[in-house]
Structure 1
């Protein structure tokens, strides 16, 4: 038995030694092949000048995306959302303790930092009153009344996954807030939770387009009869990419998404830069009135403010047409708003941030005596209580938010929304994720 055991150990040791030698030989051969490839290729300077070793630069650059937030960045340093902001959203979503120990880590002296002036005699909890409902579209056949101040902004099915849409729909119903479909059309998953729905009409008219790309009147009438759809939002522009239509990479255009949107399978879904049927303010007001008459529901417009002269022209056109013909609400998006995919220059350098545009919009509505007629919905990075309170104090009637709700679903800000590789499964259609 002793000799048999020694023989077995000896045979196992020889086998492992042979496997190790083969593995080392394979690694040497692979390294040699990669060395030659790097030395002869002409696309990457680092790899050509430093064959094989230069490949680690790309590995470290890739890994840096994931490790930077855990090992190097301070709590208030990251963008678009720092760790302090994300942590608040995570804990609030789980209804966990959200208190802070020792003191603030925020730089209160930074330019633009908002400070709320406390009252001498604070309000007692029993003295607080309920929020009064706001009526959207009082001139419509089916006006919408809502007391919700914080709502789910447009995130298309396609840009986010089926489980994400389902979870948001159910959560919105529980919270009593509305959910915007985004420009990617209305799916059964939006309706599953029986929440209030804002249907967004993008420049490609997904979900309400015919074969030629024009409006499908029958589909619009169907939306008008659907009780869960409360309002229609005509999207002119989006915060992260003003002047650019929506972008859904081809890898995300499955058969189901193609059917819902009315587009070819497996081809990138790129919306026009603007509505082809709207060339000026007068045509915009005509389209708003047409949609409102057809559906019987409140119709508003979503835009990023850039040229203030455009806003003056629009408001003058509304005054000339009569207040009853005005859009029922303006959804004002911030230039630092979120997106599933957008060119970097548009993300960084186009449009006004909400901190600048919201006061301008509210002042202009007051100037043209339209503030009581047109409701204002603010959107863009408003995930923490102070941000939301600021927008309401400046003049917004309600707030929309998207990425805050993504954090509530478990988003870790991996910045892979456009690659179908989201590690938390929120912006991917890979069933394994």
Structure 2
């Protein structure tokens, strides 16, 4: 018999058998699938929790799937460049390009709706600043009366994000990036970790309402632990957090899944339990108590001490200034960090995230004017935060009178954040806000540190571009007469007209501009 015929016969037999096996598996799969559909039908029809599934068994389940994936598809396929919240594609794209240090120019005109109410338009002048006329942004001293005053290296810094809310690789990348950029990094209320310290960057130690890292077992401030923390030379200042933009009037929230043994050890809390901070500092009942707390921390540490808050009710700040007037200017906080109601890195109830507190647009000029009125503007440095991610945001804040700007979400975008809105679920796909090792693996600190530094450098560079276009030598010379805000009728008014300085003799430094 021909050998080819034998092989052909065996091949046909093998092929036939394979087809039979595949057909059997297909029929089995169909049967299992049909059985599974029947089971889901019975379950959906008889459950009482979900109306849609009860009325539309099996098919109704797709609603929840599409609702979930819709979060991700909207930003890529449906939302326009300037439509999405909390940050639109145009804002995020600028940060991504700046972080990657690639071309940030655009072509064929702006997509920004410049006639929209609230838009800020900077006023270019007849004689913009030439390169040889430009000056480096001067360093501003904070806490000149303390034993260890601080002169920051940059006007744009990293806002408070706690270790615990952030992963180890994220903290490392931010810390290394801050060192490269010569800017400071705020620890957030979760205490200081080895990953903050290892790069040698400047750190601001935030003390939240739970006193994490500097607390005794009862939750009160522990002077011995405070001295221990202050002994780290790179911890330059202490910030008492009264409230934050994500949840004004409520303390920090760290789910139990994120309270690892290491985080529990650093925060001085119980492992594996939800970490809920009090709504306020239990030992601060009035503005006198607040000034006492500031003085205590400043005396123990020898370092500048300030406060962070979202402005809501204004009366307490008026009372604070009155109490400072009684005690003397030396009792004032060395700085105030004003957060906006549209801040948002922390997990927070929607009722607080959406509807409580004032925006930076309203609170920053009010606080600056109050300090000018009370003769405290030179004594108290002003730091602002809340959606400060693009050069125009920072330039606006400097016009309004801020000394420094800080950003959390801008630097998160520099790390690779895609606005997946998973920050509070331990499922962040970019490894920034999760303790899942598999997800963290994608975030390489050495690579992201370079992006953090590039983002910082390019943002400061573009703020300088705006300043030079307005005719001043460096960004801190920007004033309210250098920009206009669009009103309801589509016309614009200067910021100086909308937010006039108080008529205080001798305060020309904050009014004059080239």
TM-score, length basis structure 1: 0.99
* Residue 339 (structure 2) aligns with: 333
Partner secondary structure for residue 137 of structure 2: coil
* Residue 424 (structure 1) aligns with: 430
Which of the two has higher C-alpha Rg? 2
Structure 1 residues 63-94: Cα deviation after superposition (integer angstroms, max 9, x where no partner): 10110111100000001000000000000011
* Residue 75 (structure 1) aligns with: 81
Indicate the structure whose relative CO is greater, using CA pairs within 8 Å and at least 6 residues apart.
2
* Residue 222 (structure 2) aligns with: 216
Structure 1 residue 150 displacement after superposition:
0.3
- CA distance in 1 between partners of 2:151 and 2:304 (Å): 10
> 1:33-432 maps to which residues of 2 (within 5 A)?
33-432=39-438
- CA distance in 1 between partners of 2:415 and 2:35 (Å): 45
- CA distance in 2 between partners of 1:309 and 1:10 (Å): 86
- CA distance in 2 between partners of 1:19 and 1:318 (Å): 81
Q: Is the 8 A contact 1:131 1:147 kept in 2?
A: no
Partner secondary structure for residue 437 of structure 2: coil
Q: Is the 8 A contact 2:383 2:406 kept in 1?
A: yes
- CA distance in 1 between partners of 2:418 and 2:232 (Å): 35
- CA distance in 1 between partners of 2:411 and 2:438 (Å): 22
- CA distance in 1 between partners of 2:312 and 2:362 (Å): 10
- CA distance in 1 between partners of 2:223 and 2:313 (Å): 33
- CA distance in 2 between partners of 1:54 and 1:365 (Å): 58
Kindly report the root-mean-square deviation, in angstroms, between the aligned alpha carbons of the 2 structures.
Answer: 0.7
Structure 1 residues 91-112: Cα deviation after superposition (integer angstroms, max 9, x where no partner): 0011110001000001111111
Structure 2 unpaired stretches of 5+: 1-6, 440-514
* Residue 15 (structure 2) aligns with: 9
Structure 1 residue 226 displacement after superposition:
1.1
Structure 1 residue 339 displacement after superposition:
2.4
Q: Is the 8 A contact 1:38 1:52 kept in 2?
A: yes
- CA distance in 2 between partners of 1:432 and 1:226 (Å): 33
- CA distance in 1 between partners of 2:330 and 2:346 (Å): 36
Q: Is the 8 A contact 1:377 1:400 kept in 2?
A: yes
- CA distance in 2 between partners of 1:99 and 1:339 (Å): 29
TM-score, length basis structure 2: 0.84
- CA distance in 2 between partners of 1:185 and 1:290 (Å): 19
- CA distance in 2 between partners of 1:370 and 1:154 (Å): 25
Partner secondary structure for residue 204 of structure 2: strand
Structure 1 unpaired stretches of 5+: none
- CA distance in 2 between partners of 1:382 and 1:245 (Å): 23
Q: Which one of the candidate residues 17, 30, 39 is aligned to 1:24?
A: 30
Partner secondary structure for residue 198 of structure 1: strand
Structure 1 residue 320 displacement after superposition:
1.2
- CA distance in 2 between partners of 1:17 and 1:40 (Å): 35
Q: How many residues align?
A: 433
Q: Segments of 4+ in structure 1 off by > 4 A? A: none
Structure 1 residue 202 displacement after superposition:
0.2
Q: Is the 8 A contact 1:154 1:181 kept in 2?
A: yes
- CA distance in 2 between partners of 1:383 and 1:420 (Å): 24
- CA distance in 2 between partners of 1:147 and 1:13 (Å): 72
Structure 1 residue 224 displacement after superposition:
2.1
Partner secondary structure for residue 425 of structure 1: coil
Q: Is the 8 A contact 2:166 2:433 kept in 1?
A: yes
- CA distance in 2 between partners of 1:397 and 1:240 (Å): 23
- CA distance in 2 between partners of 1:94 and 1:138 (Å): 37
Structure 1 residues 20-48: Cα deviation after superposition (integer angstroms, max 9, x where no partner): 11111111111101101100000000000
